[in-house]
Structure 1
Amino acid sequence: MPKLKQAYFRAIKVFKRILPPPLLAMLICAGLAGYLIFIPPINGLADNGDFYRAMYSNGIYKLLGTHYSYFSYVTQHFGLMQYYNENQSVIFSSQPWFVHLAVFLNKIFYSKTVFDLRFMGLVNYVLYLGAIYLLTDALTFPSKRLRNYLIAALVVFVFGDSSFTLYFNSFFAEPQMLSLTMYSFASFILLARQRYQHRWPLLLLFAISTLVLIASKSQNAPLALSFTVVALGLLFLPHFQAQRLYIFAGIGVLLVTGVLTYKLIGKDFAYVNQYQAFSHGVLTQTGDPSKALAKNGIDEQYALMKDQDYYAKQFATIQPSQSYVEKNLLSKYGFGWIVKYYLQHPKQFGKLMDLAAADVMITQTKAVGDYTKASGASPGKQLTFFTGYSSIAGAFFPQKFAFNCLLAVALVMVYAVGFYNDLKHGEIEGVLKFFQVTGLLTIFIFVPIIAIVGDGDADLAKHIFMAPVSLDLIFVLFVSDILNHRLWHAYHEGGPTT
């Protein structure tokens, strides 16, 4: 019996050495995501009308002579422009860097005239796998306990969910946002846990991933304020007083990036958001909005545009892109007008926020299909493979915005205890985690507000994407801290070994 026990512990030791939790999590996620995005018939997300923002300015176009499906089916093949490209980017974004890389790889390994969407998937896939490894490493270091494999399994269950990886085969910015957020989060936690002797690589990774994340999408501009809260925690790093000037300079760059991302929004793109903030926000969750419109200086006839998309799937009451709409509607209101309107109608705004809260954990985009037409799937069919976490979270997470606020307060209080204990004992882990969690919770609370004010309830799953990602990161951190007994104080060796 003792020999059997020794053999068991020897096998466990070898397994830990060959397949540590970060590597195991990465390999499982590689298999799950790879099956979706590479194996024919592939899965992804169909075009909801937004793909052109990333396509045309990067030399990608809809193939002539083929049926291009909006909303219903994923399109796998596109054309590559061979001559001068007169299309300019309609928005300021870091996303073209990743699209350029996908086009470059496509031309080397596949074709110079036809673009296969799987190369976009490949770029997102590689970026994502590195993030999964680093995130799992951050959550499990330095403990060598077997329970860290439970943490690795949790990472796979949450971030290997297909509602996230379906984005890889698309021209949306969300897949880069997911990975960059995980890099930013993981590098900060590794700094808190003093994973490496030299800090500068992790500081550089945190800075780059955060800046590229903020610049990836115009809606991410306000995230600069949230990550400023996170970055303030770096001022508590020990033996770092001489470098505090660099931290303040970095925060300045962070804020400037946020301002530029907002200021450089293209006119056409701004009109889309402005229109849908009206048709999907101001006109919804209320009985008869016409009187309220007239009272605020807008013709009552525009109440007929309730729930109408800028890119209408079928019949449109009036074409939003017409100069008539621009002159008689869009020029009549803006961000300030909408804020004032909601202040005058708090019940309506409360209903909209509850609507956002109901969708906050539904990360799978329901507005478009996940299959190609060649798969034989019905139009708009949704994938169910490995969507357990998103299905459970979407079904059982409370659907009240007030609950979200209370949850945020509770989590801040929990990590404030660790902040106080570690600050008192000269430790930094709990201090940095407090700033990290607080910063992410501001995203969780304020992103839905910004989405409703800025774009109404249109494509909520996409527009509040950063809210569930932020809460999911806090969730896996919270569980890992409980399992490794480090929730209210820094980790110390000498605890249980299993």
Structure 2
Amino acid sequence: MLVKFSDYISPALLATILAAIISGVLLFVSPIHGYADNGDFYRAMLTNSIYRLPYDHTSTIDYVVTKFGIYQYFNENGMIAFSSQTIFIQIALFFNKIFYSTKFFDIRFLGAVYYVFYLGAIYLLTKSFVYPYKRVRSYMVALLVVLVFADSSFTLYFNSFFAEPVMYIFMLYGFAAIMLLAKGSYKRNWPMITLFFVSIILLITDKSQNAPLALSFSAVSIGMMFLPHFRARRFAIMLGMFVLMGTGVFTYTAIKKEFNDVNQYQSFTHGVLMDTGDPSKKIEKQGMDEQFALLREEDYYPKTYTVIKVDNGVIQKKLLPNNGIGWTLKYYAHNPKQFGVLMDLASQDIMITQVKAVGDYIPSSHKPSKQLRYFTTYSQFMGAFFPGKFAFIIMLLIGLISCYSVGLYMDLREKRPHGVVRFFLVFGLCTIVFFVPIIAIVGDGDADLAKHIFMTPLSLDLMFVLFISDVLHHRLWDTSPREEFLDEAK
């Protein structure tokens, strides 16, 4: 029976169909769902000539707004922040104007654009895990892919102006491309190599905080140097790595002063000052006026009353110019215990992928502002039971690297590319898991921590599924070619 089923429905196609149904109901069946605005939407909206319409609810954070206005005149705001997300918003605007309106924008058009790219990513991702098998265990892996990567905490982002959908979708594409290359799934390597570099460039340029990821993905790229019959083309891989590094530098330098000020201010108020004792003496030792300790937990854009306005001359002249990344690193070097507490705080939120600060329902749903529970089993479980200690994260990463080092050694000895390419992929993902929380704490404190470390749980999820798939297919250490067959056809 499985033989006949597999003739028509492959594991990759099964996962794609299930993900399409599960996420399609969430995004497009009334009442639709998404994420409400926590204040970040304006960057993407104004850059793309979209504005918020008046509506009955006073708080934008409680309910999902589906309809927006489209500027009918010159947009004097220009580009608020450079982001590859603009490409997808412009595609959505194009179809919106053809099939809906030239004056109003429906968020579902953006959700549909992400949805199409997402389903392609799920197909390739599942294939990269199970190729070349169509056994029962391969279909089990396909169901695991659906459980993890069709989780609503991820797909809710599609009906929003958050930048995370681009990061999510193209991380899946990049991972799939590397694994398909490792397994020699296609006769020609160029399509997957191109897909990898294009996907990662789009990911890095999506948000300014992704700039350091260029280093991690350059490490991943090293694995492609070991592909067979590829010596003459290694220059192209090196060029691609150079482009990735250049993309990271460009993304970092494209950060505008306003966003840099936001990060510096909140890294101080939500990081340096988050001390259980009296932080005033500690910051004074590092050359900062102790009066700034009064700013503890203050936001750059306060929702209510604030101790002192950010545009105050004292803040602009004495705080922001003096508390850059160098000063912050120096402070934590002198206060390692406090930094350890903050890293444990970040670890507690590592697997919480659902944005807790905003609502998921539209006003017409007649639901109170709350969090959706539809198909969130995996994210709820991981958020509740994943150990919230950074030391555990380090031990886990050491274990994963050590485990895949065996496959690296075996395949280097046998001159096989699979284990080598896979090792560099896992190593690169481990650097993301390790450094992203550190970058988030140093760069922005504990403000919006769950969103700032989004790449960490995504990287862990990919490695978890990869590990389970390798164990089930007996390819964790032994990647030697095996004949493809069905269990029922033995």
Q: Does 1:97 align with 2:87?
A: yes
Question: What does residue range 38-57 of structure 1 map to in structure 2 within 5 Å?
Answer: 38-57=28-47
Q: Does 1:58 align with 2:32?
A: no
Of the structure 1 ranges 328-337 and 385-394, higher mean CA displacement relative to structure 2 is found in 328-337
Question: What does residue range 242-257 of structure 1 map to in structure 2 within 5 Å?
Answer: 242-257=232-247
Of the structure 1 ranges 479-488 and 316-325, higher mean CA displacement relative to structure 2 is found in 316-325
Corresponding residue number in structure 1 for 2:465? 476
The answer to whether the 8 Å contact 2:133/2:485 transfers is: no
Q: Does 1:407 align with 2:396?
A: yes
Corresponding residue number in structure 2 for 1:18? 8
Of the structure 1 ranges 418-427 and 150-159, higher mean CA displacement relative to structure 2 is found in 418-427
Q: Secondary structure at the match of 1:196?
A: coil
- Distance, in Å, in 1 between the alignment partners of 2:301 and 2:483 is 60
Corresponding residue number in structure 2 for 1:260? 250
Q: Secondary structure at the match of 1:32?
A: helix
Write the letter of the residue equivalent to 1:13: V
Of the structure 1 ranges 444-453 and 290-299, higher mean CA displacement relative to structure 2 is found in 290-299
Corresponding residue number in structure 2 for 1:391? 380
Question: What does residue range 126-205 of structure 1 map to in structure 2 within 5 Å?
Answer: 126-205=116-195
Write the letter of the residue equivalent to 2:470: D
In the TM superposition, what is the alpha-carbon distance from 1:245 to its structure 2 partner?
1.0
The answer to whether the 8 Å contact 1:90/1:265 transfers is: no
Of the structure 1 ranges 485-494 and 253-262, higher mean CA displacement relative to structure 2 is found in 485-494
Task: Name the % identity.
Answer: 55
Question: What does residue range 220-235 of structure 1 map to in structure 2 within 5 Å?
Answer: 220-235=210-225
- Distance, in Å, in 2 between the alignment partners of 1:135 and 1:270 is 35
Corresponding residue number in structure 1 for 2:454? 465
Aligned pair partner of 1:424 in 413, 420, 424: 413
Q: Does 1:86 align with 2:76?
A: yes
- Distance, in Å, in 1 between the alignment partners of 2:130 and 2:480 is 11
Structure 2, unmatched stretches of 5+, are: none
Q: Secondary structure at the match of 1:333?
A: coil
Q: Secondary structure at the match of 2:477?
A: coil
In the TM superposition, what is the alpha-carbon distance from 1:313 to its structure 2 partner?
2.5
- Distance, in Å, in 2 between the alignment partners of 1:375 and 1:318 is 39
The answer to whether the 8 Å contact 2:85/2:206 transfers is: yes
Q: Secondary structure at the match of 2:136?
A: coil
Report Cα offsets for 1:72-114 as digits up to 9, x if no partner.
1111111000111111223222111111111111111111111
- Distance, in Å, in 2 between the alignment partners of 1:47 and 1:426 is 52
Q: Does 1:455 align with 2:444?
A: yes
Aligned pair partner of 2:301 in 282, 291, 311: 311
In the TM superposition, what is the alpha-carbon distance from 1:320 to its structure 2 partner?
2.4
Q: Does 1:118 align with 2:108?
A: yes
TM normalised by structure 1 equals: 0.95
Report Cα offsets for 1:328-384 as digits up to 9, x if no partner.
3212211101000100100000000000111111111111111122222223x1111
The answer to whether the 8 Å contact 2:204/2:211 transfers is: yes
Question: What does residue range 350-389 of structure 1 map to in structure 2 within 5 Å?
Answer: 350-379=340-369, 381-389=370-378
Write the letter of the residue equivalent to 2:378: Y
Corresponding residue number in structure 2 for 1:5? none
Corresponding residue number in structure 2 for 1:442? 431
Of the structure 1 ranges 298-307 and 256-265, higher mean CA displacement relative to structure 2 is found in 298-307
- Distance, in Å, in 2 between the alignment partners of 1:197 and 1:495 is 17
- Distance, in Å, in 2 between the alignment partners of 1:383 and 1:246 is 46
- Distance, in Å, in 2 between the alignment partners of 1:425 and 1:496 is 24
Q: Secondary structure at the match of 2:68?
A: strand
Report Cα offsets for 1:2-38 as digits up to 9, x if no partner.
xxxxxxxxx3222112111111111111111111111
The answer to whether the 8 Å contact 2:266/2:447 transfers is: yes
In the TM superposition, what is the alpha-carbon distance from 1:67 to its structure 2 partner?
4.5
